[in-house]
């Protein structure tokens, strides 16, 4: 059985929707903001680190 995958299929499977992730991360930042000072500093630091790697995310979580 030949199980070759086309180049197009591989591209679709491995595609990362950066803008989608950015929108999702903005929603996560808003959620964390709901907890104010109750959000652990380490969690905010990790969120800021991730946000810095997403090109279109505002730095709301820092």
Could you tell me the CA-to-CA distances from 22 to 2, 8, 50 in Å, in that order? 38, 24, 10
Query: What is the average pLDDT across 54-60?
Result: 58
Query: What is the average pLDDT across 45-61?
Result: 72
- Domain extent listing, the chain: 17-62
Q: pTM of the prediction?
A: 0.61
Element of type H or E holding 53: helix 41-53
pLDDT in tens, 2-47: 679 999 999 999 998 888 888 888 899 899 999 999 999 999 899 8
CB count in 10 Å sphere of residue 25: 20
- Output the pLDDT for position 62: 47
Residue 54 pLDDT > 50, yes or no? Answer: yes
């Amino acid at each position: 059985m030949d199980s070759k995958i086309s180049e197009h299929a591989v591209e679709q499977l491995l595609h990362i929707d950066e803008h989608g992730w950015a929108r999702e991360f903005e929603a996560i930042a808003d959620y964390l903001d709901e907890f104010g000072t109750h959000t652990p500093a380490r969690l905010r630091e990790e969120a800021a680190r991730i946000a810095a790697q997403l090109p279109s995310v505002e730095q709301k979580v820092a």
